[in-house]
Amino acid sequence: MSQKGLFKGFSEEEQEQYAKEAEQKYDPATVRESNRKWKAYPKEKKDAILAEGNQIYADMIAAMPKGASSAEVQAIVERWRSHMDYFWTPNLDQLLGLANMYNDDPKFKANFDNMHPKLAGFMREAVTIYVESKK
């Protein structure tokens, strides 16, 4: 995946705007705690978290031909789920909501489309299968 295709972190201004929007849509205490957690990381840790996330998405793109229900893709979804712990620990419904947001929010979809034009939809499909297998 080229540098162009990497998931771009949002600027501080964009993060603040998303935080305000998220507080209106979701549990404000959870959103504030997630933002506090992110801001507390030193720059090097933030860079490492973003690099890990990019690797997860690169691995997902490479595994897409195997299908959303394949063992390899489901293992990558589990890595993605664990990666969310850097921000907050989502329950299964929140995890599915996040995958849906990747498709439904134009800003997030644009970032995913930049990595691969079918990644957001594939993530939603793979996460749906993952969530159903955990219920």
pLDDT at 95 over 80: yes
pTM (2 d.p.)? 0.84
- Please state the separation of Cα 134 from the chain's center in Å: 19
With tokens 């079918």, the residue in question is 118
pLDDT at 126 over 50: yes
Q: For the segment 37-82, what is each residue's pLDDT rounded down to a tens digit? A: 988 999 999 999 999 999 999 999 999 999 999 999 999 999 999 9
The whole-number average pLDDT for the span 18-42 is 77
Amino acid letter, 27: D
- The pLDDT mean for the chain works out to 86
